[in-house]
Each structure stands twice: as structure tokens, then as C-alpha cells.
Structure 1
Amino acid sequence: MYGDWLQLRGDPRGALIAAHAQGDVQAAEGLLREHAEEFLGPFAPGAELASSVALGWGLGFWRRAVLCHHDGDDLDELVRRVLEHPSARFLEQLVVRSGDEEPASVGRLPLRSAIEALLQRGPLPSLRAVALGDRPEGHSSDVPVGELGGLWSIAPRLERLEVSGRAILLTRFSERLRWLALHTAGLPRATLVGLGRARLPALQHLDLCLGAAVYGGTCTDVDLARLLAGDGLHSLRWLGLRNSELLDELPTLLAAGPLLQRLEVLDLSHGILTDAGACELIEWWRRFAHLEQL
């Protein structure tokens, strides 16, 4: 209906919506070439920011945007220009990559600036999935992230969140959340405490890198025990407690709570397991026998 209305007004986006709806790839590509300025602006092929953004289309609008930080780019300005463009009206997935540039080398915090630009943008009611930061192969990102609680007010339908970086502070959560991954070398205690208190009835996948104290990981076994009681996680089926200095305590904590019996997959990889922890795991092995993957 919206596409028909646009076509009656002579708006080329109406024709693009129709081409996408009919699966007419050739017609859609022709319209994108002919009206590149209107549909893509600074992100059109050959334009100034074309190499910084990868876009996925659906029914005449961007449905997915992947933003990559390059030397000379202002990542926060890139976020603003993408979200302000008319083609982003129904954006569902946003990925913001900080690149391999270290904060100390640029004198500023590109990812944090981009997050602030996102939080200041205002309501994004169509947004369902957000990924922030990079996961360098073999180690965790050291790019600062900071406070993220404002995401739920600007994206009330957000269901999937992936964050990679340092100092990930997230103490409030949405009941719509279905998939959460926090990749860090050190998870702040406040974030784990917030998760333990949250009611997340839709959450099915939770992947936490707890990290080490030397990198800002301040979680304790008491905080983990509250999370593993599973009071607010009745749909959880996939749990990762990775890269943890507390791995020796995890078998007993998991075995003592009801959450373990609801899980299908448990990932304890990249943690520090001593002989004592291995003995605990063997002692409680029957509690873990139902898992499809450990």
C-alpha cells in the first residue's frame, strides 16, 4: 500500500518497493543506478563514503547497514549520516565496526563516539539487531565501550545485541531480548549483577566473556551464582561463560542451580581450569550429561 501511494505521487521509491516485492533484481538495480543520489546519497558507488558502508536492501529501504571505521573517518559522523538518510527509515540491523585503530593512536574514542551518536539519534522503532565493535582474532578488543543502557529507549524492539570491547557497562535490559553476546577481556561486575537481576523471558542465547581482573573483570562467584539460579532466564538454551578466571568454581555453581537443566549448550572455553576444577567437573558430571554440547 505504501509503495502504491508513493508511485501515485511519482516517487521512484514506490517503483523500487514494487521491484523488490516482485523479486525483479534487474529492475531494482536499474532504479538504484538511475536514482543513486536519492536512494544512496554519499554512500552511492564512487561517492565519498561508499567504502565505509555496506547496505542490504528490502522493499525499497535499507534493512541492514554495516559501518566500518577507516583512517580519516569520523565514525560518529558516519553513524549520524546513515541513520538520518531517508533510506534508513525501516532499518532492522546495524553493525558498527571500530576497525583495528587503537584509541591511544587517535587521541579519541571512535567506538564510544559512535555509540553516543546512536543514542542521541532518537527513536529507531524498526531496529531489531545491533552489533558494536570488533573481535580481533585470538584476543579481545581493547576499544572502550562504556554505558549502553540507553539502547532500549531508542530501540524498544531490539532483540539481538552483540558488543565487543572494554568496559562494557549494561545494567538495564529489555524483556524483548532474545540473543546477547558480550565479548571482552574483563566484564564489569555491574553488568553481571544487572543480568542476574533482570527478567528476560525471551532470552535464548547468552554469551559472556568474563575475563580477568587485570583487564577490568570484577565479577565474583556470588554474582555468578545469582545469574545461574536462572530466575529470570526461563527460555535460555545456550550459555557461554568463557575466558574466565573463575572456571574452577563454575561446575559447582552450575550444578547447584536449576538453570543448568534447561540448557542445551554450555560453552566454558578459554577459561583457566586447574586440576581442582577438573575434579569438580568430574564429580558433577551427571548434572551435565543431558547437554547436547559442552
Structure 2
Amino acid sequence: MSVDHLDELHGLPAFDFPLPDEETELPGPDAVAWRVSYNPYRDESGEDFDGRFQRFLTEVDPSRVRALIIGMWGETYEGDAADAIERLLAAKDRLTSLEAVFLGDIAQEESEISWIQQSDVTPVLHAFPGLRELGVRGGSGLSFPAVTHPHLRTLRFETGGLPGAVVRGVAASRLPALEHLEMWLGVEEYGGDTTVADLAPILAGGTFPALRHLGVRNSEIQDEIAAAVAAAPVVAQLESLDLSMGVLTDEGAAALLDGRPLTHLKRLGLDHNYFSAAMEERLRTALEPFGVVVETSEKGDEDEDEGEVFRYTAVSE
């Protein structure tokens, strides 16, 4: 699975803030999600990320900007996101309508996801108390100490390896408005050391009373996670559950069927799986009569070497 640029954020279409020599008619400041990006390998304008971001604040009325996408900020495997975040924080008194931020919208052709160097992203939440949505791509160097934020509704981590410390920080946070939580756990080789124990406070329910969607995706221990989710009290409050993109086999799928009822869900995401056609039929027979949309179309790739089978998450490096 390739990781591409965002098409939209916060319900707004993504729009690339143009290069300095491009003659482009700009849309209304509140009509799009503005992507500000600087690719040092292709950009010959002489303008770095800092210059581009300052020009963005000059040419677009920042007080009306609702959604902001931060793409490349330079050589992402050498410089982390801290400087880009600092530019954002410095403009907090001008970006007074900001509701959504995505940090690291970097496509696979620009950088492997594991090469993206992140940093502590919680200063964005402290600086923008009105923020509704925060998304992050890249797990290397990522930090998320526990935070309190009254209005955040969506929190999303896209990584090839999500540190367990980040999950523990999320679980310890006070986010009373959080409705949508998505975490790509990835693999241990790329820093994905999250365990089921790290997820336990979230799965226990009550941590996020408004939570309606939970995605615990892209994990090499997807069967173990499925078994934990199957017994988790949080499932009762969900409208959708996504366990896709990981190494999910018949064992994990059977655990879901044997656990707490899932018939109240509107959607169960199980794409990129490794379970059998018979198990898929069992899932559909058990859930679809209740109106649950069961997504199982995509199968994961696997290799065999001297009798040993190797299975992969959808996104790792």
C-alpha cells in the first residue's frame, strides 16, 4: 500500500499553496485545507519552508484559515518537525479560526514513512484550544505526553512504527470531545513497540466518553489486538471499528466473533487481512444481516521461505 498526499482534511479539499513564481488564483481562505510544503529535491525557487510559510500568512488571510496541512519541511530524514511546528505556534494569534492540522503529509515517493522525523506534537494542542482535528504522519521521534484539550474530536497517527509511549500518552490524556481515534501501530523494526497493555486503558472504555470510531490498524500483532478488542468494554460505545492493514488471520477474526456483540456497529474495517474465505463468510453471515458493513476486500501479501510464511502490514518502511 502506498502512502499518498491527503485529498482533504476536515471535510475541505486539499489545495497546494503555490510556488512564488506560479500564477494561481487562490481560493477563499476558509474554502480549502491549505497544504504548505517545501521539497528540497524538486523545488528550485530559492524559498525554503520558513519563507513559504511566511508568504502564506501574507497572501492568505490567516484569520479565516480553517485547515492547514504541513507537508515536507525540508530533508525530513535529517530535520525533524520541530521547526515547522514552531512556525505554526508563532502564528497562533493570526490563525484564529484554525480547526484542523495535519503534520507530515509526505507521500511515499518523497520519503518512506519511517524516515519522517517527527517531534513532540502536543504544543499544537496547547497553542490552539479550539482545534477539532489533529493528524500526524511518521513515528520516528514522535512524542505525545498526556495533554488536556476540551474540543479535539479527531486524533490520527499514521506510522510504520508507533511508539508505545505515544499510545500511553494518548490514553492518559483528557480529551472529553474525542470521537475519532486512529492509530497505525506498524512493526517493531521501525519503532512500533506498542503492546496490548498500552491500549488497555482505551479499550476499557470511559477514557474517552464521546468516542465513536476506533481504529487500531497496521499492526503485526493484529490477532492479539483483535482478541483484546473482542473483550473490550469500549466496543459497546462505538459506531465503527477498524482493524485493517495488519496481519489479521482466522485466529483474530474468530476472536471477534466470539467476543462482545458487534451487531450494533455501522462498519467493521478488516481490509488487508490474511483470513480464509470461510472465515470471511462467517463474518458476513454473522454481521451483515444486522446492517454492519464488513470491509474485507483487500488481502495482504505473503512470502514463503523454506516452509516459513512471512506476512506483512500494509505500511511499514
When normalised by structure 2's length, the TM-score is: 0.67
Among all aligned residue pairs of Structure 1 and Structure 2, give the percentage whose two residues are the same amino acid: 36
Instruction: State how 1:225-264 maps to structure 2 within 5 Å.
Output: 225-264=200-239
Q: For the residues of structure 2 that align with 1:245 and 1:217, how far apart are their CA atoms?
A: 9
Inter-CA distance 55–174: structure 2 relative to 1 (3 Å threshold): farther
Deviates more, 1:221-230 or 1:245-254: 245-254
Equivalent position amino acid for 1:288 in 2: L
1:65 maps to 34
For 1:89, give the aligned amino acid.
S
Find the partner of 1:149 among 94, 108, 122: 122
Counterpart of 1:195? 170
Q: Could you say which residue in structure 2 is the equivalent of 1:120?
A: 90
Give the root-mean-square deviation of aligned CA atoms.
3.0
Distance 2:216 2:81 in 1: 25
**Which region of structure 1 is more displaced relative to structure 2, 227-236 or 109-118?**
109-118
Tell me, in whole angstroms, the C-alpha distance in 1 between the residues paired with 2:21 and 2:123: 28
Match for 1:109: what amino acid? G
2:144 maps to which residue? 170
Structure 1 or 2: larger helix share?
1
Q: Deviations over 1:228-257 (max 9, x none)?
A: 112221111111111012212223322333
Change (3 A) 1:257 1:62: closer
Residue 153 of structure 1: SS of its match in structure 2? helix
Q: 2:156 aligns with which of 181, 187, 193?
A: 181
Tell me what 1:267 maps to: 242
Name the amino acid aligned to 2:20. Answer: E
- CA-CA distance at 1:202 after TM superposition: 1.2
Shift of 1:80: 3.2
Quote the offset at 1:165 in angstroms: 1.6
Q: What secondary structure is seen at the aligned counterpart in 2 of 1:288?
A: coil
Residue aligned with 1:98, SS: strand
User: C-alpha separation between the residues in 2 aligned to 1:218 and 1:182?
Assistant: 14
Match of 2:68 in 1: 94
Query: CA, structure 1 residues 54+292, in 2 after alignment: closer, same or farther (shift >3 Å)?
Result: farther
Q: Aligned equivalents of 1:140 and 1:277: distance in 2?
A: 27
The amino acid of 2:211's aligned partner reads L
Question: Cα gap change, 1:256/1:66 in structure 2, threshold over 3 Å: closer, same or farther?
Answer: same
Q: Please tell me the residue identity of whatever aligns with 2:38.
A: H
Q: How many residues align?
A: 242
Q: Which gives a bigger RCO, structure 1 or 2 (Cα 8 Å, sep 6+)? A: 2
CA distance in 1, matches of 2:26, 2:235: 40
* Counterparts in 2 of 1:233 and 1:275: CA distance versus 1, 3 Å: same
Query: Can you give the 5+ residue segments of structure 2 that lack an aligned partner in the other structure?
Result: 1-16, 269-317
Q: Greater Rg, structure 1 or structure 2?
A: 1
Post-superposition Cα deviations, 1:25-47, rounded to whole Å, max 9, x if no partner, equal: xxxxxxxxxxxxxxxxxx7x8x7
Distance 1:103 1:86, change over 3 A: closer
Determine the C-alpha separation between the residues in 2 that align with 1:281 and 1:62: 41
Quote the offset at 1:188 in angstroms.
1.4
Q: 1: CA distance between counterparts of 2:115 and 2:129?
A: 28
In 2, Cα distance between the equivalents of 1:282 and 1:137? 35
CA shift for structure 1 position 260:
0.3
User: Is the 2:72–2:106 contact (alpha carbons within 8 Å) kept by the matching residues of 1?
Assistant: no
- Post-superposition offset of 1:293: 1.1
1:48 aligns with 20
Matched-pair contact (CA < 8 Å) for 1:92–1:128: yes
The residue that corresponds to 1:36 in the other structure is: none
Once the 2 structures are TM-superposed, how far is the Cα of residue 103 of structure 1 from its aligned partner?
3.5
Q: Is the 8 A contact 1:184 1:211 kept in 2?
A: yes
**Equivalent-residue separation in structure 1 for 2:139 and 2:236 (angstroms):** 32
| Structure 1: runs of 5+ lacking an equivalent | 1-42
Is 2:101 the partner of 1:130? yes
